[in-house]
Amino acid sequence: MALEMFTGKTVNNAITCANFDKVRSVILSSSQQDFHCVYYLISDIQYLNTNGSLVLDMANPWNQAPATDSDFNPVRFVPPSRQQAILAFQVQSISVAGHVKNACPDGFTNHWCLYLQTSQNGAVQIDCQPSYSVPGTVIPGGSKAFFIVSELSYTLPQDVIKYVSLDVHPGLTVTNVVNLLMANGHHKYEFTPQGIGCRKWTTDQVNLLQQQQYAVNVTQCKDARQAILTLWPDGTHHDLDAGAYYQ
Protein backbone atom coordinates (compact mmCIF):
# COMPACT_ATOMS: atom_id res chain seq x y z
CA MET A 1 0.00 0.00 0.00
CA ALA A 2 1.01 3.66 -0.18
CA LEU A 3 2.62 3.57 3.25
CA GLU A 4 5.49 1.56 1.80
CA MET A 5 6.92 4.71 0.21
CA PHE A 6 8.45 5.67 3.53
CA THR A 7 8.21 2.67 5.84
CA GLY A 8 9.53 -0.04 3.55
CA LYS A 9 7.29 -2.72 5.07
CA THR A 10 4.34 -3.54 7.24
CA VAL A 11 4.34 -6.44 9.67
CA ASN A 12 1.39 -7.86 11.57
CA ASN A 13 -0.78 -4.80 11.08
CA ALA A 14 2.02 -2.54 12.29
CA ILE A 15 4.16 -0.03 10.45
CA THR A 16 7.86 0.15 11.23
CA CYS A 17 9.72 3.38 10.69
CA ALA A 18 13.15 4.61 11.72
CA ASN A 19 12.55 8.30 11.03
CA PHE A 20 9.72 9.80 13.07
CA ASP A 21 9.97 13.29 11.55
CA LYS A 22 9.77 11.81 8.06
CA VAL A 23 6.58 9.98 9.01
CA ARG A 24 5.02 13.18 10.32
CA SER A 25 6.00 15.10 7.18
CA VAL A 26 4.63 12.49 4.81
CA ILE A 27 1.40 12.19 6.77
CA LEU A 28 0.74 15.90 6.72
CA SER A 29 1.20 16.09 2.98
CA SER A 30 -0.92 13.07 2.14
CA SER A 31 -4.57 12.93 1.20
CA GLN A 32 -4.70 9.17 1.79
CA GLN A 33 -6.84 7.98 4.68
CA ASP A 34 -4.12 5.48 5.65
CA PHE A 35 -1.82 8.36 6.51
CA HIS A 36 -4.47 10.07 8.60
CA CYS A 37 -4.83 6.86 10.61
CA VAL A 38 -1.11 6.84 11.33
CA TYR A 39 -1.11 10.49 12.31
CA TYR A 40 -3.65 10.09 15.07
CA LEU A 41 -1.70 7.21 16.54
CA ILE A 42 1.56 9.12 16.97
CA SER A 43 0.96 9.18 20.72
CA ASP A 44 0.80 5.35 20.70
CA ILE A 45 4.29 4.88 19.26
CA GLN A 46 6.41 2.25 20.99
CA TYR A 47 10.09 1.57 20.51
CA LEU A 48 11.22 -1.81 19.25
CA ASN A 49 13.74 -3.43 21.57
CA THR A 50 15.53 -5.12 18.68
CA ASN A 51 16.67 -2.22 16.52
CA GLY A 52 15.30 1.00 17.98
CA SER A 53 12.84 1.55 15.15
CA LEU A 54 9.42 2.99 15.82
CA VAL A 55 6.22 1.01 15.60
CA LEU A 56 2.78 2.42 14.90
CA ASP A 57 0.07 -0.07 15.88
CA MET A 58 -2.54 -0.16 13.11
CA ALA A 59 -4.66 -2.98 14.52
CA ASN A 60 -7.32 -0.52 15.66
CA PRO A 61 -6.47 2.87 14.14
CA TRP A 62 -9.61 4.57 15.46
CA ASN A 63 -9.44 3.37 19.05
CA GLN A 64 -9.69 6.99 20.20
CA ALA A 65 -12.98 7.54 18.37
CA PRO A 66 -16.01 7.60 20.68
CA ALA A 67 -18.99 5.29 20.61
CA THR A 68 -21.36 8.28 20.40
CA ASP A 69 -21.06 11.81 19.01
CA SER A 70 -21.70 13.31 22.45
CA ASP A 71 -18.53 11.65 23.77
CA PHE A 72 -16.31 13.04 21.03
CA ASN A 73 -13.42 15.23 22.17
CA PRO A 74 -11.69 16.60 19.06
CA VAL A 75 -8.66 18.03 20.88
CA ARG A 76 -5.44 16.00 20.70
CA PHE A 77 -2.01 16.95 22.05
CA VAL A 78 1.02 15.21 20.54
CA PRO A 79 2.58 13.84 22.60
CA PRO A 80 -0.10 13.84 25.32
CA SER A 81 2.50 13.81 28.08
CA ARG A 82 3.83 17.17 26.88
CA GLN A 83 0.52 19.06 26.93
CA GLN A 84 1.36 21.48 29.74
CA ALA A 85 4.86 22.15 28.39
CA ILE A 86 3.46 22.78 24.89
CA LEU A 87 0.89 25.25 26.20
CA ALA A 88 3.53 27.20 28.13
CA PHE A 89 5.73 27.96 25.12
CA GLN A 90 6.20 31.58 24.09
CA VAL A 91 5.22 32.27 20.47
CA GLN A 92 7.72 34.27 18.43
CA SER A 93 5.72 34.29 15.19
CA ILE A 94 3.07 32.24 13.40
CA SER A 95 3.66 30.59 10.04
CA VAL A 96 0.56 30.04 7.93
CA ALA A 97 1.75 27.17 5.78
CA GLY A 98 0.64 25.21 2.73
CA HIS A 99 2.05 21.79 1.94
CA VAL A 100 2.85 20.07 -1.33
CA LYS A 101 0.07 19.70 -3.89
CA ASN A 102 -2.24 16.70 -3.53
CA ALA A 103 -4.99 15.24 -5.68
CA CYS A 104 -8.56 15.95 -4.60
CA PRO A 105 -12.01 15.35 -6.17
CA ASP A 106 -11.90 18.71 -7.99
CA GLY A 107 -8.31 18.42 -9.17
CA PHE A 108 -5.53 19.42 -6.78
CA THR A 109 -5.19 21.27 -3.50
CA ASN A 110 -2.68 22.12 -0.77
CA HIS A 111 -3.12 21.24 2.88
CA TRP A 112 -2.88 24.34 5.11
CA CYS A 113 -2.40 24.73 8.86
CA LEU A 114 -0.60 26.86 11.46
CA TYR A 115 2.93 26.56 12.85
CA LEU A 116 3.57 28.58 16.01
CA GLN A 117 7.28 29.35 16.07
CA THR A 118 8.43 29.06 19.67
CA SER A 119 11.27 30.23 21.85
CA GLN A 120 12.50 26.62 21.97
CA ASN A 121 13.90 26.69 18.39
CA GLY A 122 11.04 24.49 17.28
CA ALA A 123 7.37 24.93 16.59
CA VAL A 124 3.91 23.94 17.73
CA GLN A 125 1.67 22.85 14.90
CA ILE A 126 -2.06 23.49 15.14
CA ASP A 127 -3.72 21.33 12.54
CA CYS A 128 -7.31 20.43 11.71
CA GLN A 129 -7.73 17.00 10.10
CA PRO A 130 -10.85 14.96 9.22
CA SER A 131 -11.57 11.99 11.46
CA TYR A 132 -13.32 9.97 8.74
CA SER A 133 -14.91 8.03 11.62
CA VAL A 134 -17.10 10.46 13.57
CA PRO A 135 -20.10 11.47 11.42
CA GLY A 136 -20.69 15.17 10.89
CA THR A 137 -23.89 16.85 11.98
CA VAL A 138 -23.75 19.85 9.61
CA ILE A 139 -22.24 18.54 6.36
CA PRO A 140 -24.12 15.52 4.93
CA GLY A 141 -21.75 12.60 4.71
CA GLY A 142 -18.93 14.59 6.27
CA SER A 143 -16.92 13.83 9.38
CA LYS A 144 -15.97 15.75 12.48
CA ALA A 145 -12.36 16.87 12.67
CA PHE A 146 -9.53 16.35 15.09
CA PHE A 147 -7.95 19.56 16.43
CA ILE A 148 -4.32 18.53 16.80
CA VAL A 149 -1.67 20.47 18.74
CA SER A 150 1.78 18.97 18.16
CA GLU A 151 5.23 19.77 19.48
CA LEU A 152 7.85 19.79 16.70
CA SER A 153 11.64 19.80 16.91
CA TYR A 154 11.87 21.94 13.76
CA THR A 155 10.24 25.14 12.54
CA LEU A 156 8.57 23.84 9.36
CA PRO A 157 8.40 20.40 7.74
CA GLN A 158 10.21 19.89 4.46
CA ASP A 159 6.99 19.48 2.49
CA VAL A 160 5.86 23.06 3.09
CA ILE A 161 5.74 24.72 -0.33
CA LYS A 162 4.43 28.16 0.68
CA TYR A 163 4.13 30.03 3.95
CA VAL A 164 3.43 33.51 5.25
CA SER A 165 4.90 34.59 8.57
CA LEU A 166 2.71 36.62 10.93
CA ASP A 167 4.18 38.95 13.53
CA VAL A 168 2.54 38.46 16.91
CA HIS A 169 1.77 40.43 20.04
CA PRO A 170 4.71 40.35 22.50
CA GLY A 171 4.30 37.79 25.25
CA LEU A 172 1.91 35.60 23.29
CA THR A 173 1.85 31.95 24.40
CA VAL A 174 0.52 28.75 22.87
CA THR A 175 -2.11 28.77 25.62
CA ASN A 176 -3.38 32.15 24.41
CA VAL A 177 -3.77 30.89 20.86
CA VAL A 178 -5.35 27.53 21.72
CA ASN A 179 -7.76 29.13 24.19
CA LEU A 180 -8.78 31.75 21.63
CA LEU A 181 -9.56 29.18 18.97
CA MET A 182 -11.45 26.94 21.37
CA ALA A 183 -13.38 29.80 23.01
CA ASN A 184 -14.72 30.64 19.56
CA GLY A 185 -15.62 27.03 18.81
CA HIS A 186 -13.00 26.62 16.10
CA HIS A 187 -11.99 23.22 17.43
CA LYS A 188 -15.45 21.93 16.46
CA TYR A 189 -15.16 21.62 12.70
CA GLU A 190 -16.44 19.30 10.01
CA PHE A 191 -14.89 18.23 6.72
CA THR A 192 -16.65 17.09 3.56
CA PRO A 193 -16.94 13.36 2.79
CA GLN A 194 -13.80 13.77 0.67
CA GLY A 195 -11.85 15.25 3.57
CA ILE A 196 -11.90 18.79 2.17
CA GLY A 197 -12.04 21.88 4.38
CA CYS A 198 -8.60 22.76 5.76
CA ARG A 199 -8.16 25.98 3.77
CA LYS A 200 -11.40 27.51 5.04
CA TRP A 201 -10.47 26.49 8.59
CA THR A 202 -6.99 28.03 8.32
CA THR A 203 -8.40 31.23 6.81
CA ASP A 204 -10.82 31.51 9.73
CA GLN A 205 -7.95 31.22 12.20
CA VAL A 206 -6.00 33.98 10.45
CA ASN A 207 -9.09 36.21 10.63
CA LEU A 208 -9.58 35.45 14.31
CA LEU A 209 -5.92 36.06 15.17
CA GLN A 210 -6.09 39.42 13.41
CA GLN A 211 -9.37 40.42 15.08
CA GLN A 212 -7.96 39.58 18.51
CA GLN A 213 -4.72 41.42 17.60
CA TYR A 214 -2.65 38.34 18.33
CA ALA A 215 -1.42 38.79 14.76
CA VAL A 216 -0.46 42.44 14.62
CA ASN A 217 0.37 43.10 10.96
CA VAL A 218 -2.73 43.55 8.80
CA THR A 219 -0.78 43.28 5.54
CA GLN A 220 0.72 39.94 6.55
CA CYS A 221 -2.74 38.59 7.39
CA LYS A 222 -4.03 39.74 4.00
CA ASP A 223 -1.08 38.06 2.29
CA ALA A 224 -1.80 34.83 4.18
CA ARG A 225 -5.43 34.80 3.08
CA GLN A 226 -4.40 35.43 -0.51
CA ALA A 227 -1.83 32.64 -0.36
CA ILE A 228 -4.49 30.19 0.83
CA LEU A 229 -6.61 31.17 -2.20
CA THR A 230 -3.76 30.11 -4.50
CA LEU A 231 -2.82 26.61 -5.65
CA TRP A 232 0.92 26.02 -5.19
CA PRO A 233 3.24 25.76 -7.02
CA ASP A 234 0.93 26.52 -9.96
CA GLY A 235 0.18 30.05 -8.76
CA THR A 236 -3.44 29.83 -9.97
CA HIS A 237 -6.55 30.97 -8.11
CA HIS A 238 -8.14 28.26 -5.97
CA ASP A 239 -11.60 28.96 -4.55
CA LEU A 240 -11.95 28.40 -0.82
CA ASP A 241 -13.06 24.90 0.07
CA ALA A 242 -16.13 23.84 2.03
CA GLY A 243 -16.19 23.15 5.74
CA ALA A 244 -18.45 24.01 8.66
CA TYR A 245 -18.52 24.40 12.42
CA TYR A 246 -20.85 22.47 14.69
CA GLN A 247 -22.15 23.35 18.15
Residues 86, 153 contacting (CB under 8 angstroms) = no
Q: Per mean pLDDT, which range of 63-67, 81-85, 104-108 is the poorest?
A: 63-67
Q: What's the pLDDT at 242?
A: 87
Do residues 83 and 63 make contact, with C-beta atoms less than 8 angstroms apart? no
What secondary structure, in 3-state letters, does 89-102 show?
CEEEEEEEEEEEEE
- pLDDT at position 70 is 66
Cα–Cα nearest to 160, from 215, 108, 107, 114: 114
DSSP letters for 23-81: HHHHHHH---HHHHHHHTTGGG-EE-TTT--EEEE-SSTTTTS-SSGGG---EEEESGG
User: What's the mean pLDDT in 33-39?
Assistant: 34
* Cα 91 from Cα 198, distance rounded (Å): 22
Q: Which residue has the higher pLDDT, 56 or 114?
A: 114
CB-count burial class (<10 Å; 0-12, 13-18, 19+) for 223: middle
pLDDT at 68: 52
Backbone angles phi, psi at 218, to 5 degrees: -60, -40
Cα 106–Cα 1–Cα 20 angle in degrees, nearest 5: 95
Give the residue with greater pLDDT, 230 vs 49. Answer: 230
- Residue at 43: amino acid letter: S
State residue 46's pLDDT score.
30
Which of 9 and 78 is assigned the larger pLDDT?
A: 78
Over residues 107-112, mean pLDDT: 96
- At residue 5, the pLDDT reads 28
- As a whole number of angstroms, the distance between CA 79 and CA 24 comes to 13
What proportion of the chain, given as a percentage, has pLDDT over 70? 72
Which residue from 151, 157, 148, 147 is spatially nearest to 99, judged by alpha carbons? Answer: 157
Which of 102-111, 128-137, 188-197 has the lowest average pLDDT? 102-111
The secondary element (H helix, E strand) that includes residue 237 is strand 236-237
The answer on pLDDT for 91 being more than 70 is yes
pLDDT tens-digit series, residues 193-206? 999 999 999 999 99
Mean pLDDT of the chain: 79
**Per-residue b or e along 109-126, where b marks 16 or more CB atoms closer than 10 Å to that residue's CB:** bbbbbbbbbbeeebbbbb
Q: Which residues contact 185 (CB under 8 A, 6 or more apart)?
A: 245, 247
Please check the confidence at residue 17 and state whether its pLDDT lies above 50.
no
Residue 69: pLDDT band (50, 70, 90) is low
- pLDDT value at residue 120: 77
In this predicted structure, the answer to whether residue 44 has a pLDDT above a threshold of 80 is no
Share of the chain above pLDDT 90, in %: 68
What is this structure's pTM? 0.76
Task: Express each pLDDT in 170-226 by its tens digit.
Answer: 999 999 999 999 999 999 999 999 999 999 999 999 999 999 999 999 999 999 999
Cα–Cα distance for residue pair 90/121, rounded to 1 Å: 11
